[in-house]
Amino acid sequence: MSLVWHIAQRERSRSLNFSFAQGQASGRRSWVLGAGTCLFLAVVVGACGLGAGSDGAAPTGGGNPAVTGSVSADSSNAETSADPTTAAESDTATSEVLATPPAATPPGRVSFASSIQPIITETCASCHTGDGPGTQHVRFDTADDVSRAAFAIAIVTETRFMPPWPASDESVPFDHDWSLTDEEIATILRWDDDGAPLDVDPNTEMIPVNGVVGLNDPDLVMRADGSYDGEFGQPDEYRCFVYDPKLTESTFVSDMEFIPQQTQVVHHAVGFAVPGSERAAVEERNGADGQGGWTCFGFSPGNGADLIFTWAPGTDPTAFPDGTGLEMEAGDFFVLQTHYHYDVEADADQSTFAVNFATGADVDPIDLFTYLAPAEIPCGEGEEGPLCDRDAARQKAINAYGREGVLADALIRSCGNPLDAPDGFVDGVAKSTCTLPVANPGEIVSVLGHEHEIGASFKMTLNPDTPEELVLLDIPVWDFDWQLIYEPTDSIVIDSGDTIRIECTWDRALRDPLLEPAYVLWADGTNDEMCFSSVVTRPV
């Protein structure tokens, strides 16, 4: 189905009101948003084409003595941007302002230097400058870039579409919170209404306060051992690829970043550390069908593999705290399970994986564990078809992904059937809850939640229904495009006697209406669903 339909359904779930009848917006924004979401998207995309950059190349390196070699890799595969002249011409007033030298801000007007620039450098520049992931859509390298994009910035901040921060205030405080306050948004709107004037040199650089998203000059960038070329319309494919750091001695990995090459078809990725003793078994499967890697569904690529990494759209690089890291021995290597979904045309994919190595004599090993809950979403009222039968839907998934790629029954056995609860499925919205004992005690480094495309909300709670209850992560409106890794600001220690409750909801109204009506359950396909969180801890 079209992007417009998906966005419209997503905004329906958010209950956003695009009518600016309250008079808070300028005439331009009121006209655009009043015309509907489709026009809103067209204008924003046109404006955000300003300054879109070309493809870049990831750096290579080999600064760790345990590494015998490194492999260069392309770090990005930016999609074609909109014509930058379109948005520039859409706001004559802004262009006229930029044509004059910067001057002191008149009384009552918003100062770019003191009010707008701090917002950009603290919350936007890390993604939209240099080689950041947002630069393929819009660049904020200079004050001039920001002023030219003021119209789009006003729209996406007023609707809270940007900057992305799905976690609610019910969650524990997190580092690197990008969300804007109501006052900051109001300031941006007033500045745009004034014509986005500058009181600084237009060439003033927007230097990100927190650094650029992505590893800067990583120690090692590895290209997948082989590429995969799927076909448009092909069912979901889970492909495992070897990424070999060629370790000659024990070491600790401090940072990891997955860099998808064909971003339009890479759905998500899960990384494993595999012992060197499994290399021969892996090589028997690697490339056996004529393409790079091998088909691998489920949560493990083979014996001895430890889950150590997760990536989904919007995820930042994994960065462990100073003095901690992922412990690896000589000969160990990585296997990344990459999920492809070919709903568009794409070239062959050969994604890359970048790492940094921890320095210092004393490094604590990190521990990652995934906490899972069932996903059971029956057909809604008015939906009919053979796949609305759970057994038929489950068998179809098994035929596609094998039993290891369909965990639906196993999760019901361990957590119970959520449909047994009175509110397990009401008006097309399904709910699921599972409370599990803590399996990786220690101090929490980060948490992440994961659902697919009809996810509606996600919540993770430590020691629920007790005096020590603590909401670790609450995402009241799920957005598949922004599955962030959240790092608690305060020290939170979990013990073996504690419990963690995972709660997910799904809304069938978000499902593509062109898909055949079907019972949706936990399986590996994009149009199937999942409910899990990864929790990373360090020793106390």
What residues form DSSP beta bridges with 64? none
Whole-Å CA distances, 516 to 2, 151, 385, 425, 471: 16, 40, 8, 20, 37
- Long-range Cβ pairs for the range 282-285 (8 Å, 24+): 282/242, 282/335, 285/240
* Separation of alpha carbons 156 and 129, rounded Å: 18
Residue 322 neighbours by CB under 8 Å, 6+ apart: none
Judge if 220-361 and 369-538 fold alike in CATH terms: yes
What residues form DSSP beta bridges with 238? 339
Residue 377 neighbours by CB under 8 Å, 6+ apart: 425, 430, 454, 506, 508, 519, 520, 521, 529
Q: Map tokens 């119209």 to a residue.
A: 151
Q: How is the chain split into domains, by residue range?
A: 3-60+76-193, 220-361, 369-538
* Separation of alpha carbons 410 and 416, rounded Å: 10
Residue 27 neighbours by CB under 8 Å, 6+ apart: none
pLDDT at 177: 84
Q: How many CB atoms lie within 10 A of CB 175?
A: 11
* Separation of alpha carbons 258 and 75, rounded Å: 9
Give the sheet arrangement for strand 493-494, strand by strand.
367-372, 532-538, 442-450, 493-494
**What is the chain's alpha carbon radius of gyration, rounded to the nearest angstrom?**
24
pLDDT at 90: 39
Domain at 220-361, CATH from 3.40.50.2000, 2.60.120.310, 3.40.50.720, 3.55.10.10:
2.60.120.310
Give pLDDT < 50 ranges for the chain: 1-28, 30-100
Mean of the per-residue pLDDT values for the chain? Answer: 81
pLDDT at 70: 38
* Separation of alpha carbons 232 and 278, rounded Å: 34
Q: Does residue 63 come out as left (phi exceeding 0), alpha (psi in the -120 to 50 range) or beta? A: alpha
* Separation of alpha carbons 457 and 436, rounded Å: 19
pLDDT at 314: 67
CATH class label, 369-538: mainly beta
